[in-house]
Amino acid sequence: MSPLNPQAIELNESIGQVNPCVLDMLSKRGHGIFFPKKGILAQAAAAKGKDINATIGIALEDDGTPLCLDCIAERVELAPGEVFPYAPSFGRPDLRATWREMIYRKNPSLAGIEISQPVVTSALTHGLSMCGYLFADEGDAMIIPDLFWGNYRLVFCNAYGVRLNTYTTFARDGLNVEGLQEALLDGPPGKKLVSLNFPNNPTGYTPTEAEAQQLRDVLIEAAERGNKIVALIDDAYFGLVYEDGIMKQSIFSLLADAHSGILAVKIDGATKEDYAWGFRVGFLTFGVKGATTDLYAALEAKTGGAIRGNVSNSPNISQSLLNMAFTSPDYNVQKNEKYQTLRRRYDKIRDILAQRTDYQEAFRALPFNSGYFMCLETLDADAESVRQTLLSDYSTGIIVANGVVRVAFSSTPYDRLEQLFDNIYKAVKAIQTR
Ligand SMILES: Cc1ncc(COP(=O)(O)O)c(C=O)c1O
């Protein structure tokens, strides 16, 4: 490895002076990265406001507005300046401030706890990938339940050489917190990457309030024993919780100030919770006990640097639109309407499962209470064969992964839910009697 750039050394010192554990959590790439304050960016900043500024790497009209094609501009109501120029690598400052404020509003337990400024990513997959960049070295293990979003393999295993250390997701119809505890306490203390994704893809499970406290306790216990824990909190489906007694705030709110040996990294964004899948806007936000503004600024600078060397920056038009939406007086009402659309389907599935007790001969629903999905364990029938039969004989598509059926009620019309479950039942029955 080439020697570290002095700007990276400076950031590492800012982190290490406040919290040496966090410095140890960084990967080799994470140690080396920095956001270049010198060079082109510094020279462009120095030229700001000068009579003639020939530094900017976009094209401007003679009147100083961005040069743009009318066939694009006439379809967009936003001012060209909000759309066409680059956004900063860290994201638009207005959007970052808005999202930070929203994190506090949506998670009242964070009151009085300092968290970093969110850094904008090109949605959550990119945010996860940047976590791999900053925290994962070849051969590092990630502790993760055995039912997880399959793309974690490409993001962490293929790209950064991470090994997934899985534990059984559920125990006694609830979260297998003991499984997580065993995985955390196994082996000598050291850096531990832990994935926490609630509401979960694929299961649609979010911990109860009590389970969330237990999760926090086992992470603190592991940190007390000298582990340095990077908690990767994937909040893609945040806010879509349909039962009482279930954790409505992010688990980030319990971990952001839990222990100096636990770095809580919140990976969230507009994709699923604001129904803006193609916008490609997400956020990375850090929380660790005893952090200072300097420590957070250094982590943000490393994240900004990783982004600059990767996608450079995230789409300006999407960031502008979202900032306007989040500050619109109609936002909360409209968001609640869409929540109700999903919630009605969730309630309908609960009704179907309660009424059709005969379905228990064919499948068992895994615990679910939130999100876009729920899972079924097929009985005496291989899930992949069920999927094939559903496609060929019932014109019905479902996902099978990790040996279970995943039903996306997010994308199934309310009126088709009964038929969907009936088709699954019939397909399982057909295979059982083959
Ligand atoms: C748990 C989870 N995290 C992250 C993502 C990726 O989201 P994005 O489209 O914002 O990259 C998904 C998408 O399916 C997901 O299910």
Cβ atoms 137, 28 nearer than 8 A? yes
Q: What is the pLDDT of residue 40?
A: 86
What dihedral angle (degrees, nearest 10) is formed by the CA atoms of 303, 304, 307, 312? 180
Q: What is the pLDDT of residue 2?
A: 79
Q: Sort strands 141-145 and 163-167 into parallel, antiparallel or unpaired.
A: parallel
Q: Is the pLDDT of residue 80 over 90?
A: yes
How far apart (Å, rounded) are the C-alpha atoms in residues 273 and 269?
7
Taking CA atoms only, the protein residue closest to ligand 1 atom 2 is 236
Q: How many angstroms does the Cα of residue 382 sit away from the middle of ligand 1?
A: 27
How far apart (Å, rounded) are the C-alpha atoms in residues 376 and 405?
5
Residue 78 has which token pair? 């936003």
Q: How confident is the model at residue 38 (pLDDT cuts 50, 70, 90)?
A: confident
Instruction: Provide mean pLDDT across the span 342-364.
Output: 98
Q: How many angstroms does the Cα of residue 283 sit away from the middle of ligand 1?
A: 12
Which residue of 131, 142, 148, 149 sits with most ligand 1 atoms within 8 Å of its CB, as the best mutation to test the pocket? Answer: 149
Q: Which helix (H) or strand (E) holds 120?
A: strand 119-121
Instruction: Provide mean pLDDT across the span 322-334.
Output: 98
HSE value, Cβ hemisphere, 13 Å, CA-based, for 384: 3
Q: What is the pLDDT of residue 400?
A: 97
Query: Within 6 Å (CB) of ligand 1, which residues are found?
Result: 123-125, 149, 197, 201, 234, 236, 269, 271, 277, 282
Q: How many angstroms does the Cα of residue 124 sit away from the middle of ligand 1?
A: 6
HSE value, Cβ hemisphere, 13 Å, CA-based, for 269: 26
How far apart (Å, rounded) are the C-alpha atoms in residues 283 and 395?
38
Residues in Cβ contact with 105 at an 8 Å cutoff, skipping those fewer than 6 apart = none
Q: Is the pLDDT of residue 404 over 90?
A: yes
Instruction: Provide mean pLDDT across the span 420-434.
Output: 96
HSE value, Cβ hemisphere, 13 Å, CA-based, for 21: 22
Taking CA atoms only, the protein residue closest to ligand 1 atom 16 is 201
Q: How many angstroms does the Cα of residue 264 sit away from the middle of ligand 1?
A: 18
Which residue of 120, 126, 151 sits with most ligand 1 atoms within 8 Å of its CB, as the best mutation to test the pocket? Answer: 151
What dihedral angle (degrees, nearest 10) is formed by the CA atoms of 366, 369, 375, 377? 10
Cβ atoms 130, 273 nearer than 8 A? no
Q: How many angstroms does the Cα of residue 42 sit away from the middle of ligand 1?
A: 35
Q: Per-residue pLDDT tens for 176-211?
A: 999 999 999 999 999 999 999 999 999 999 999 999
Task: Give the residue among 171, 165, 130, 161 at the shortest CA–CA distance from 309.
Answer: 130
285-300 burial: b if 16+ Cβ within 10 Å, else e: bbbbbebeeebbbbbb
Q: How many angstroms does the Cα of residue 395 sit away from the middle of ligand 1?
A: 27
214-224 burial: b if 16+ Cβ within 10 Å, else e: bbbebbbebbe
Give the domain 331-432 fold: Aspartate Aminotransferase, domain 1 (3.90.1150)
Q: What is the pLDDT of residue 123?
A: 98
Q: What is the pLDDT of residue 289?
A: 98
Q: Per-residue pLDDT tens for 150-176?
A: 999 999 999 999 999 999 999 988 999
Q: Is the pLDDT of residue 39 over 90?
A: no
Q: Per-residue pLDDT tens for 227-278?
A: 999 999 999 999 999 999 999 999 999 999 999 999 999 999 999 999 999 9
How far apart (Å, rounded) are the C-alpha atoms in residues 421 and 315?
40
Task: Give the residue among 337, 346, 336, 340 at the shortest CA–CA distance from 407.
Answer: 346
Q: What is the CATH number of domain 6-35+89-326?
A: 3.40.640.10
What residues does each domain of the chain span?
A: 6-35+89-326, 331-432
Which residue of 120, 122, 124 sits with most ligand 1 atoms within 8 Å of its CB, as the best mutation to test the pocket? Answer: 124
Residue 91 has which token pair? 């994201």
Q: How many angstroms does the Cα of residue 127 sit away from the middle of ligand 1?
A: 10
Q: How many angstroms does the Cα of residue 389 sit away from the middle of ligand 1?
A: 28
What does the mean pLDDT of the chain come to?
A: 97
Q: Please tell me whether the overall predicted TM-score, pTM, comes out greater than 0.95 for this model.
A: yes
Q: Is the pLDDT of residue 380 over 90?
A: yes
Q: Is the pLDDT of residue 287 over 90?
A: yes
Q: Is the pLDDT of residue 26 over 70?
A: yes
Taking CA atoms only, the protein residue closest to ligand 1 atom 12 is 236
Residue with tokens 């009605």: 344
**What number does the ligand 1 atom closest to the CA of 277 have?**
9
**What number does the ligand 1 atom closest to the CA of 127 have?**
11
Q: How many angstroms does the Cα of residue 269 sit away from the middle of ligand 1?
A: 9
Q: Per-residue pLDDT tens for 99-158?
A: 999 999 999 999 999 999 999 999 999 999 999 999 999 999 999 999 999 999 999 999
Cβ atoms 268, 283 nearer than 8 A? yes
Percent of the chain at pLDDT > 90 equals: 94
**What number does the ligand 1 atom closest to the CA of 125 have?**
11
Q: How confident is the model at residue 1 (pLDDT cuts 50, 70, 90)?
A: low
Q: Is the pLDDT of residue 317 over 70?
A: yes
